[in-house]
Structure 1
Amino acid sequence: MPALRLLMIFLCTWLKLQEYLQDLGEIGLLYTISKNPEEDKRAKIAENEERNMSINNQAKSKAFDAPMC
């Protein structure tokens, strides 16, 4: 049973570490080294534009869903 407990602790720790690294990547604190920084800039700009369009679409849908008095 102690081996099973150690395995569970290891798996939980591994999953938490993966979640933490994913969160760092999403907020931009985790950088990857690329051979072409210009390509990275274009990818980041495209990602930001996509996120902004998504936020704008959500705001528009909420505005249309608001009850009219």
Structure 2
Amino acid sequence: MSTIQMTVLGMTCRKCVSHVTEALTDVAGVTSVNVDLENKSATVETDGSVTLAELTEAVVAEGYEVGQA
């Protein structure tokens, strides 16, 4: 298992959190997702086979940006 921390920019409400959570959860190999609106962050637990690039692609596809964690 591995944990990946991300900064997600552009989230403004709980609906945004829901979209980002769903997008990250849909990435194969993701086992757990916690998105924090206040801190504009996402903590993603994976089985070790997921890259930051894959997670970034999923978030960007939903219309958000990924910054430095």
Length-normalised TM-score, structure 2: 0.24
Greater helix fraction, Structure 1 or Structure 2: 1
RCO (CA 8 Å, sep 6+): is it higher in 1 or 2? Answer: 2
Greater strand fraction, Structure 1 or Structure 2: 2
